[in-house]
A = this chain, B = another copy of it.
Amino acid sequence: MIYKCDGIVIDNEPLIKDFIYLMKIKETKIAEYAKPGQFLEIKTGTLPLLRKPISIFAVDKVEGTISILYQVKGQGTKNLSQFKIGQSIDLMGPLGNGFAVEKFNKKCLLIGGGIGVAPLYDLGLRLKEVGNEVEFILGFSSKETSYAIEYFKELGPVKIATIDGSVGVKGTVGAILEDYDLTDISKAYGCGPEPMLKYLKTIEDEVDLELSLEAYMGCGLGACLSCVCKMNDGDYKRVCKEGPVFKAKEVSFDE
């Protein structure tokens, strides 16, 4: 069931000013049905015209709230950053398929790059709830532009990579994965920029891997066919409906 409803902003704090924000929204129905990896389509103002797809970062089903972690890029996310506490916000969701959550034999590895870390917090939490151990590998460009790490530390060990080496290992998440023993891992999940996802496909034979993709969206509902990504069989699938989560082996990043 997809709802369109007006949530109420109950918090909207910068983690890094003008860059990364965490917004908490009271919206019981979406909170009730949301699964990890699903996203919202948010109307951020009169313009931009289109809603903006934003992942669900955290859900509190008891208090009926959802949180989003977002990066200010253009007008839409800038508008988001200007919402005040108590203001109503026009949401559609929960959308998309979400990550597979079940009890696995071995550990789960959650790999995020930049704002791609957003859906991994709720995922980690749900994986733990059903009895898994979770570990995180998170990549940022630098110490100053890294964020939300303390949230992930609540759930399990966190390894950090930064491009400039200012914290953790120097390089991308690949620099950590190179030396990582994947035999310990039942299931891996990845979300981040396309180069990272492309890199992750190189480990798809070593571990059962799910990737959350991004694509430019018109409707978020499966109607407009704009958000497609290429599958290995040459066909296209809709990121908003069959995705955003796909098995790594299904997808193709070839031109």
Contacts and interface: CB of A to CB of B under 8 A. Distances in A.
Contacts of A46: 47
Interface string A43-69: 000110000000000000000000000
A49 to B, nearest CB: 12
A46 B46 CA distance: 10
A163 to B, nearest CB: 36
A123 B46 CA distance: 40
A44 to B, nearest CB: 14
Interface in A25-81: 46-47
Interface string A146-160: 000000000000000
Nearest to A46: B47
A241 to B, nearest CB: 33
A84 to B, nearest CB: 13
Contacts of A47: 46-47
A47 B75 CA distance: 14
A47 B49 CA distance: 13
Nearest to A75: B46
A75 to B, nearest CB: 10
The 2 closest A-B pairs by CB, nearest first: A46-B47, A47-B47
Interface of A: 46-47
2 contacts: A46-B47, A47-B47
